[in-house]
Structure 1
Amino acid sequence: MNKGPISKFIEHNYRHFNAAALVDAAKGYETHINEGGKMLVSLAGAMSTAELGISLAEMIRQGKVDIISCTGANLEEDVMNLVAHSHYKRVPNYRDLTPQDEWDLLENHYNRVTDTCIPEEEAFRRLQKHLEDVWNSAESKGERYFPHEFLYQVVKSGVLEQYYEIDPKDSWIVAAAEKNIPIVVPGWEDSTTGNIFASNVIKGKLKASTVKSGIEYMVWLTEWYRANSEGKGVGFFQIGGGIAGDFPICVVPMMYQDLEWTDVPFWSYFCQISDSTTSYGSYSGAVPNEKITWGKLDINTPKFIVESDATIVAPLIFAWILGQ
């Protein structure tokens, strides 16, 4: 593939330290895909609020991402930005805010993520009614779905199009729904839409079982991995840390150790963009080699770690893979 100006800039300037690790990781991802491998991308933190969809959506459309694992927050916040973008409020001086300033934001229905405030009324409430409709519809028919499947139903129905405030090509959820790629959402319960669903259960309006659980996600992921890990295998591109990465990567040792399926291939590529400190005992900050001891990566798995800001690094790596 002929590389565009961003890729040429990266290759010419990014020669050492984390910059060099970025280039190595991008080339490794590209090689993995070109040799027929599949790729899982995990999204932690507030990547959707950071509008990573601008680059991730194109990766999905071009078949560079086969499955996504993300937090419930990332699942919903991409759609919230899609339907309420003009109502978001940026606070460049967020470090200077007093507790009173923060309270004032709450009073005005703004929920802050670093320098970006999500507009509660416009974002959450525009989505809530339509999600409640599909939850109620499924329950009335005795059907059950995963959290992302319910969101796909809403997006594909077209009911949100009246609210669109950005170009839908910049929404990774829209791209994922159009290609129907699988999404795994561990810990969905702690998201805003998860809380809304729980409130409906407490009110007696819905059954908790209508939304499929994290255990069911793991069982499903087991089947998907078995079906997709032949040949070059499945790679793992981890943006940030936390449950979005820890949950899906564990499917391999679970099959090998707990199910005693000794023919299960290890993850065949691994990269993590992280700002977590290795020495604090955190999983998110663990260097890739530690994962060998847990039966997640092989000795020969290509391993990369870029210790930097994912909002800077991920779009650059994606630009390389897309030949931009």
Structure 2
Amino acid sequence: MEPERGPISQFMEKNYLHFNAATIVDAAKGYEAHLTKGGKMLISLAGAMSTAELGISLAEMIRQDKVAIISCTGANLEEDIMNLVAHSHYKRIPQYRDLSPQDELELLNNKYNRVTDTCIPEEEAFRRIQGHIEKIWKDADAKGERYFPHEYMYQLLLSGVLEQYYEIDPANSWMLAAAQKGIPIVVPGWEDSTMGNIFASYVIKGEMRASTTKSGIEYMVWLADWYAKNAVNEGIGFFQIGGGIAGDFAMCVAPMLQQDLEMDNIQRWRYYCQITDSTTSYGSYSGCIPNEKITWGKLDVDTPSYVIESDATIVAPLIFSWILKH
């Protein structure tokens, strides 16, 4: 028997009737319809959604098989784990808009790295993970083994070595949920993340080989194979949070298969939603409207498409709550 919708969903259905609010409900219903028909969904995470604790809702989406694959920045990959092991040491600054350059320097000197209103504690977050991930990297390097960045993080989480540090309910970590489910992740541009920088420092010092971590090109090759195998029947949808490389990297796989590999009958993305606060701008990846993606072979003319011009930290949990019938 289909469960009844909870109070959040009921509130949305009653009150979100126009403009961006109506699009939120339309996009949520479209996501739900795509899954009901047997389609799969990719979620792309840009920005600092892990530090915004999107895991509170995204982890349950993963556990309930509402997400088939994730494309995310290196920052989102690691910051969910940092929040898992160092949450009590985070510092919130509600009046962040009023900070002076000197205030910012003092945060740096106290080893706090600010993301909007939230400061990540360098010592407790980065360094608490570093020793353990360093061992995993170096063990792989010594054996001549190579893994993707997210696979190293999965090894770290599933080993249990971080459990001693958990400071939030582990059910609210989307990375832990993803590791336990074994869902695939692609992480374009991992090198510019904190862990990517740390890995690069070991390479510079001659302690590891760069090839011990698989590259972005290898991620694209892997994704091409995954997409070709899964873009069948109802196909794959694309739920994009923010813009940037996390979205563009994954979305380009469809036209690449068709145009560069000249494969016949490759499906384009079969659902598309972007939550963005970027200014609408034709030619801008983060700000272009869905129709422009049709000309690039990313979306089809009948792909259900939605753009929600709002703050993803507000909107994404609402859409996930709708899908989870909260």
Is the Cα contact below 8 Å between 2:282 and 2:288 reproduced in 1?
no
Question: Who is 2:172 aligned against?
Answer: 170
Question: Who is 2:258 aligned against?
Answer: 256
The correspondence of residues 1-324 of structure 1 with structure 2, limited to 5 A, is 1=2, 2-279=4-281, 281-324=283-326
| Secondary structure class of the residue paired with 1:235 | strand
After superposition, give the CA deviation of every residue in 1:137-176 in whole Å (9 maximum; x if it has no partner).
1111110000000000000000000000000000000000
Following the alignment from structure 1 to structure 2, what is the Cα–Cα distance between the partners of residues 68 and 293? 24
Alpha-carbon distance, 1:226 to partner: 1.1
Residue identity (%):
74
Following the alignment from structure 2 to structure 1, what is the Cα–Cα distance between the partners of residues 266 and 282? 31
**Aligned partner letter, 2:121:** P
Following the alignment from structure 1 to structure 2, what is the Cα–Cα distance between the partners of residues 313 and 46? 14
Following the alignment from structure 1 to structure 2, what is the Cα–Cα distance between the partners of residues 216 and 120? 30
| Secondary structure class of the residue paired with 1:279 | coil
**Aligned partner letter, 2:253:** V
| Secondary structure class of the residue paired with 1:39 | strand
Question: Between Structure 1 and Structure 2, how many residues are aligned?
Answer: 324
**Aligned partner letter, 1:130:** H
Following the alignment from structure 1 to structure 2, what is the Cα–Cα distance between the partners of residues 282 and 299? 20
Following the alignment from structure 1 to structure 2, what is the Cα–Cα distance between the partners of residues 253 and 226? 11
**Aligned partner letter, 2:102:** Q
After superposition, give the CA deviation of every residue in 1:225-253 in whole Å (9 maximum; x if it has no partner).
11111110000000000000000000000
Following the alignment from structure 1 to structure 2, what is the Cα–Cα distance between the partners of residues 142 and 269? 40
Q: Mind listing any 5+ residue stretches in structure 1 that lack a counterpart?
A: none
Following the alignment from structure 1 to structure 2, what is the Cα–Cα distance between the partners of residues 184 and 297? 20
**What do you get for the CA RMSD once the two structures are aligned?**
0.6
Alpha-carbon distance, 1:279 to partner: 2.6
Alpha-carbon distance, 1:262 to partner: 2.1
Following the alignment from structure 1 to structure 2, what is the Cα–Cα distance between the partners of residues 314 and 66? 17
| Secondary structure class of the residue paired with 1:194 | helix
Q: Mind listing any 5+ residue stretches in structure 2 that lack a counterpart?
A: none
Alpha-carbon distance, 1:280 to partner: 6.5
After superposition, give the CA deviation of every residue in 1:180-206 in whole Å (9 maximum; x if it has no partner).
000000000000000000000000000
